Structure 1
């Protein structure tokens, strides 16, 4: 291994060559970016490279498998051990895949070779001895010694605690209470749990957002034999942070009612047919479970037996005693079927969930869960098509876009504008009201009006009821429940209702409770753009029809899931997913965008994307002008199973699926495919062979399905805007108070008040584990998640926590501002916080919503049924869109001008309130700043006083600026920051009282883009900088401002085995500078000259580490600039050298 820099210095000076060893964990984003560039430039045959969009880690990398091509790490000898290939890759790119640089967190789990000559070497990830839930890394190599593919989903583990602070029993109690609180219909006596397991967990696994990486207890909860879900309880704070559903809805053993000895009604070797109670259903379970077993066994020619590949029993249960009916389930190694659900394709579907679990084990939520459902649908339908024993309908090929009579078609809206223009809009349905019919409900479309401030939302009795009567009511979404809108329109005489989703173009499938006022007319929804089109034409006159989708209907059950359930009303149509209001492509307007607590983020709906892809490949068709040939079941089954078994991981999404399907097809080109059988005779290889034309068909189908696209309708919005605001819209800022909580925080006052004795005593507290990967410390107020049996006065956590600043003296209140960086994830509408201000010791008063200039309050807290003391006030509450848990860091800016009118002493207070029950994460405050905006920009002459190097928390560590006024009078320090490329950033002025010493975070004060700063101040003001990346000795360096300027600098390098040297140089000239480094020997002769930068812009910064230049003969290092320059030289110890240190080296400055 090459030279290694000490962790903290590596974050300060960016290294030109990354082969020297591991950098600081906090600098990993920069390191990964450079490794990514190195990878792309060193490989010319990359076929696919995909990176995690949140963390920048490599998920998939594959090279073209050419006969004479090389692999990812060059060509090794035939038969090279796959571990050698993997370690060769990891030695160069371990941080890029998310592993430690020495990959100590990776542990080999399996090596599998297949009949195609491909070997998959698998690793799991551990944090010490703690497993990382769902994290794997696969290496794929061939027999000729080439590494062809790397795929994984590792998590960065830096900063994750190593020890749990709560016990497994405490976690189990909180998990049980959480399940009961969310599912009050469950009987606690029927719930059991497996032993809690300590894991590292990403709360965003499979989700369209970045989650938190936490040490957590995973508590598997069961209802009877079925795993209901795993509840994750944070092992440090003790709060529930995530729930993962593990019940997949929809030798042989068949049980009735319970999985125990008494419930066993048939097992392998018993007589057939079964003649006992429920004989038709039991016999179908016996037959279809055998067909499923033989389907996969013959597909793999006996290599993968039973659902887990270990030839475990195919266990099924009919009519489970623990509820969940009517439905079918997979969990805990058992497929369960309620009465009426034991049909061949549903049985195949549920057991296919087991085969998914035994291979890719896709997490059951968001796109991963949709793929889990889709693979189960696909394999279940293959079995249904091959056994050809449908009760309802046959398996005749269906024509393009034709509907099946065995699936109830979804709704649509047909409109005709006066003048003859017609359009048909896709629509969402409702769980209440009448189902739209083929004939439709026709009439004039009328926009409703009521007497509220939002008259088109129809939340009260309609003012234009006479116009609505006998026609179709057009209503905007918002303010009240869908069912209430429909009921008001129905009361006015409407024959149908169309609700416009004013929040986006997504078509919403609506739910609602109309039991108090039943809705009997059809209710549908349309997206925003379609709704606006209709509204724009209303003046001309628009008629319409709320109807079931109009298309040719055929008597074929081919590609219908569950056609034999309930008299022929199938659950899903894989040929035309839109028929059941499921999407066929990723950009389909009816793609479901969540939330995760509704169908686990759309697993049964968004499965339509994968389903249409499979049906199109099997039967062929022309889509978007492209004809895709029919490949048939045998080819597609092999492609799908290879994709699932080889190339998908725990949290794979549709983009991964696109890669997996295409790669699986390429793998199988020219290979005789095993013949598929539903009997115990497995014929082995047959004549069917996948061709290059078949690969092209797979690619065309994937392109049609848009698997690599992002859902257009899902514009998941953060609860705060992450982009840093301009603190002053014009001019510059003058800081009066700033605290980033990295130092002494005892000046802040912490108080709380609980309404009842059951309130848990707690205050705001300083935490060093900030969410979303943020470095540093901050104040935290927890949103307590309560246990079971909570109510008014009983386990009641109603109360508030208060965090008050020290007194801040304001001499001039003109253009006074407050800015604070924060993050919140709370129970929406019920728990959250707001900001208050006290002036001259008076009572604290709410800072109103209209005082916020940027990132204002979410909105008012709910008043009804909300005991939060802040319930009649506006505040910050909720989570990011599309999530149940999680927020975004952002900066809020407040105009205090109208609240503080003259010289005053003020205090700022952050209040966080909770109601009686439930909770989430909480509110984090990272920095607070009070400042004034001047009417014009601060302009000053160039100064010879510089801090040549700054970085912020986003760069891996913090730079603190320390200012000491040694004078007996107040002094002003003006700071002029620059971006690293030399672009100036808004100047900042700070007022220092006589004798005052102040420490401020450079990133907080000057912004994350600031790379260097010049300053103007009286000579009595002493300025220095401290760089810090961790606590303890050796973790920081303290350097004085630099005033030396020159064009030639010389330093004597340290002992290279122990230390290394580096520099940060600023071009102080008015023109671009040429920067060179020369090495000199003992005689003063130049050994070599290196061109570092041929055109460094004025006021730009150049970073360099001298290891690249120094040889054994080097005695001095000379840095030459063609323009005047200021430079900072640092020396630090290498990794493993103790004690570690970092200090400034004074150069010899030569001014020509």
Structure 2
């Protein structure tokens, strides 16, 4: 590695691969050209330069001058063209997309295209100061582009597939979003780099990027492979203040209740007044402090919608057109939070998925809390600084639930308190629990889900009602329990994940318990009695400071804690056990936002956290540093390490420069104290305390299959092929089988595929398990299996026999999956046990959960995708045929069988290069010495 790179630990720490010699030479030239040298950082997903910054307030390109926007753009373009290869692009791929004048100088944006096709999320930002010095260039571009830009199917077909995907798997907390009026608002042909959003290395593919929306409560980005038609990614652009989807409508002219210039408050109700004032607070925060005129920078009208009957309350969101709120969810920080999503969309454009989405969510929390700290509305007191690591006494604490009776189910439950109703104290509440049964099963749900009025209401009066999670919102369940006269509600989780805090507006006690405990209560034969109490032992802060949403009556208390995120089960640093590793919630956008929230709170108030001392720099300076990072350095696919770099670089930009104090008064713009080098040291310390540059290794994201399989027979044996299949001539030799569970149901047979995922060449057998079906136990139900079976293969009479095959799996985790079966000497097929696999054995079983109608449920199988991604990758599995039940000299058949439940899905199972081999010992050469004479 060249000396210029070796001296930069940040570069090597983030490198996805060792830079090539050519890359090193380019970086050396870039460093030599800069007037004071340069600092570099590698883009994790590409191994190329992701950030270059002039050292010591120097200039990356001193040979060219700039004095205005046009000359600044010209200088930046000259530099980008010259060194495009260092970032992973060619000069002709980078197009200037705009110049933004700032108080510090100019930001020039470059978007990447390939043969006229845009590259999704690929953007470089060049920053120049008022003196015309080029101070930095950063961003992400897709390197090594070499692919066809001719799609295999039309824009209309891609849109139809995307809409079908959303219909088959609706968004919403329980998949119950209203899909009326959904359409493809845009369908754009793009180059898409797999894994970039996750910060992983992936292939470049041609994809149709489809925005599916009803301009209300659905706004999903669906990525359809333009060669295969497969959906390779999907995420929601509905940004909401809680950890679930929300329901609202776009505003209708007839429903306009107030516009700029109308009398205020006039006849407006309190929620409408809150929205008018809250939107004004958000507007003036960004206008006075950062000079931005509305969310798009062009003064666009800020429209809000309140109290629509389709919203699953309590909640609020930004849907790309309007911000939308339930009644009593209109506090100052909540309204500013939702408008924060709009400002993010029109600046950095952070994709609402994984770490980029967690940053998107955190910026909204930050701007909401900033408004809350400077206005004179919703000011809950006291608002004094917090003690490091402590929760607020106004936080709903951890609760313990103990089943007291009957004795056979007595014991503790895992639990989370509801965000409504009375708060549990140390003494606790003891009550009998009665399972609520519904009058009707609305929406096809469970008769114990509480989604319709209870037919045993009399038995619930004065007791706690038990209901199952799912089908409808928590608020509806709690309202039904309250209407029945219950004094509390216990909600049993419907998945084995930890319980979460239910939300609602009912004035009764509430708690969620784990799935297993819920099953015990439902199965109890005697009277169930429980005790619930606050089990927090640590002291708590007597202050509301850094609580989010605490002023919304419908929440019954705050929904997040920015100072100590772990008080709400969110991580405060990357290595925390609470860090969200699942694909749920778009990869933890709401939970993992706690890391960024904690960074901001630490900077404002100062503390020693995670062993790092962070000095307080105050609200004015912290807000300006975060805005500079958001607006000048972050791109759609930025991750936490990019934020760390953006914050430290943004702070350096601001040293000694004029900044404005945070203000929401339309008549007041005042200067704040200048940012100093000491302040930037605090910024660096905050990023270290919350570990923004640390990878979440506890997630252990890995491909499903290990790579580099061993030689089939090793070095001491010869490998002789007994039988093989490459599928280059199709499936002609293979027998097909099929089983459909329900009359009127559907199945899909194996076929030969040539457009294979993961750049796998040639052809392969493909067992489909797409996102189809109706889960109807009848017409169009996809509960079925399809198999392909080899011709009969006679094993040799000696040696060790093995079966190997290459395969790719991308199925609905736990519900769809494939098995390998074997028949010996014409007997029934049996599933090959895990113990027979020598390499890449099945990792899990297909789920036996209630409602899984896959005929293979509970059997050993390959299911799921790679490390949290919606896609898989190729691997080789090796089976010892003797351990699978076949001895030398016997005749065998092998069957690959794919199974699905009634609906939903992903892609399926690809199988290639199936081979039966014999391993025999190599003959040792013997030397015979004769006797002379």
Q: What's the TM-score, normalizing by structure 2?
A: 0.77
For 1:925 and 1:937, the matched residues in 2 are separated by 35
Which residue number in structure 1 is paired with residue 472 of structure 2?
A: none
Which residue number in structure 2 is paired with residue 663 of structure 1?
A: 649
1:872-951 matches, within 5 Å, as 873-883=859-869, 885-898=870-883, 899-903=885-889, 906-935=892-921
State which of 55, 62, 68 in structure 2 corresponds to 1:65: 55
1:824-903 matches, within 5 Å, as 824-837=809-822, 845-862=830-847, 865-871=851-857, 873-883=859-869, 885-898=870-883, 899-903=885-889
For 2:101 and 2:118, the matched residues in 1 are separated by 25
Which residue number in structure 1 is paired with residue 349 of structure 2?
A: 361
| SS of corresponding position for 1:281 | helix
Counterpart check, 1:622 vs 2:608: yes
Counterpart check, 1:297 vs 2:287: yes
For 1:343 and 1:165, the matched residues in 2 are separated by 48
For 2:635 and 2:214, the matched residues in 1 are separated by 27
Which residue number in structure 1 is paired with residue 20 of structure 2?
A: 33
Shift of 1:939: 9.1
1:549-568 matches, within 5 Å, as 549-554=537-542, 556-566=543-553
1:816, 1:930 within 8 Å by CA — same for their partners in 2? yes
Shift of 1:548: 1.8
Whichever of the two has the greater Rg, that structure is: 1
Which residue number in structure 2 is paired with residue 177 of structure 1?
A: 167
Which residue number in structure 2 is paired with residue 108 of structure 1?
A: 96
Shift of 1:334: 1.2
Counterpart check, 1:765 vs 2:757: no
Which residue number in structure 2 is paired with residue 246 of structure 1?
A: 237
| SS of corresponding position for 2:906 | coil
Change in Cα spacing, 1:75 to 1:828, as seen in structure 2 (3 Å) is same
Shift of 1:795: 1.2
Shift of 1:695: 0.6
Which residue number in structure 1 is paired with residue 337 of structure 2?
A: 349
Change in Cα spacing, 1:238 to 1:927, as seen in structure 2 (3 Å) is same
1:598-609 matches, within 5 Å, as 599-609=585-595
State which of 257, 260, 265 in structure 2 corresponds to 1:268: 260
Encode CA deviations 1:224-258: one digit per residue, 9 max, x unaligned.
534442334444444444321111112xxxx9976
Shift of 1:799: 3.7
Shift of 1:725: 3.5
Counterpart check, 1:225 vs 2:216: yes
| SS of corresponding position for 1:266 | coil
Shift of 1:726: 5.0
1:560, 1:570 within 8 Å by CA — same for their partners in 2? yes
For 2:681 and 2:692, the matched residues in 1 are separated by 16
Change in Cα spacing, 1:680 to 1:198, as seen in structure 2 (3 Å) is same
Change in Cα spacing, 1:853 to 1:797, as seen in structure 2 (3 Å) is same
Which residue number in structure 1 is paired with residue 436 of structure 2?
A: none
1:774-813 matches, within 5 Å, as 774=760, 777-786=763-772, 789-805=774-790, 810-813=795-798
Encode CA deviations 1:820-844: one digit per residue, 9 max, x unaligned.
2222111223322122345677765
Shift of 1:749: 2.7
User: Greater CA deviation, 638-647 or 715-724?
Assistant: 715-724
State which of 614, 617, 631 in structure 2 corresponds to 1:645: 631
State which of 365, 369, 375 in structure 2 corresponds to 1:387: 375
For 1:681 and 1:179, the matched residues in 2 are separated by 49
| Structure 1: tracts of 5 or more residues without a match | 1-28, 414-426, 443-495, 524-544, 942-1152
Change in Cα spacing, 1:398 to 1:52, as seen in structure 2 (3 Å) is closer
Change in Cα spacing, 1:85 to 1:133, as seen in structure 2 (3 Å) is closer
For 2:428 and 2:876, the matched residues in 1 are separated by 50
Which residue number in structure 1 is paired with residue 393 of structure 2?
A: 405
1:171, 1:217 within 8 Å by CA — same for their partners in 2? no
| SS of corresponding position for 2:577 | coil
| SS of corresponding position for 1:666 | helix
For 1:799 and 1:398, the matched residues in 2 are separated by 57
For 1:897 and 1:857, the matched residues in 2 are separated by 18
Shift of 1:265: 0.5
For 1:373 and 1:222, the matched residues in 2 are separated by 20
Counterpart check, 1:97 vs 2:87: yes
For 1:340 and 1:126, the matched residues in 2 are separated by 46
Encode CA deviations 1:921-955: one digit per residue, 9 max, x unaligned.
111224333323344698999xxxxxxxxxxxxxx
1:256, 1:265 within 8 Å by CA — same for their partners in 2? no
Shift of 1:141: 4.3
Which residue number in structure 2 is paired with residue 1043 of structure 1?
A: none
Change in Cα spacing, 1:940 to 1:665, as seen in structure 2 (3 Å) is farther
For 2:915 and 2:866, the matched residues in 1 are separated by 25
| SS of corresponding position for 2:20 | helix
Change in Cα spacing, 1:758 to 1:726, as seen in structure 2 (3 Å) is same
2:709, 2:839 within 8 Å by CA — same for their partners in 1? no
Encode CA deviations 1:956-981: one digit per residue, 9 max, x unaligned.
xxxxxxxxxxxxxxxxxxxxxxxxxx
For 1:313 and 1:259, the matched residues in 2 are separated by 13
State which of 632, 636, 646 in structure 1 corresponds to 2:622: 636
Which residue number in structure 1 is paired with residue 109 of structure 2?
A: 122
For 2:815 and 2:648, the matched residues in 1 are separated by 47
For 2:560 and 2:27, the matched residues in 1 are separated by 43
Q: Name the Cα RMSD after superposition.
A: 4.0
2:215, 2:249 within 8 Å by CA — same for their partners in 1? no
Encode CA deviations 1:102-160: one digit per residue, 9 max, x unaligned.
4544433212243323x333222345444333332323345545463232243665346
Counterpart check, 1:816 vs 2:762: no
1:50, 1:58 within 8 Å by CA — same for their partners in 2? yes
More helix by share: 2
Shift of 1:314: 1.4
| SS of corresponding position for 2:257 | strand
Change in Cα spacing, 1:845 to 1:282, as seen in structure 2 (3 Å) is closer
Encode CA deviations 1:624-680: one digit per residue, 9 max, x unaligned.
454322211111111000100011111211111111111100010110112332122
1:90, 1:103 within 8 Å by CA — same for their partners in 2? yes
| Structure 2: tracts of 5 or more residues without a match | 1-15, 32-36, 242-246, 402-412, 430-489, 502-511, 523-527, 928-933
Which residue number in structure 2 is paired with residue 207 of structure 1?
A: 198
Which residue number in structure 2 is paired with residue 281 of structure 1?
A: 271
1:782, 1:922 within 8 Å by CA — same for their partners in 2? yes
| SS of corresponding position for 2:235 | strand
1:498-647 matches, within 5 Å, as 512=515, 517=521, 547-554=535-542, 556-566=543-553, 569-594=557-582, 596-597=583-584, 599-647=585-633
Encode CA deviations 1:381-430: one digit per residue, 9 max, x unaligned.
111111133353243333444432332234699xxxxxxxxxxxxx9853
For 2:140 and 2:418, the matched residues in 1 are separated by 43
More strand by share: 1
Change in Cα spacing, 1:155 to 1:380, as seen in structure 2 (3 Å) is farther
Which residue number in structure 2 is paired with residue 131 of structure 1?
A: 118
Shift of 1:89: 4.6
| SS of corresponding position for 1:125 | strand
Shift of 1:747: 6.3
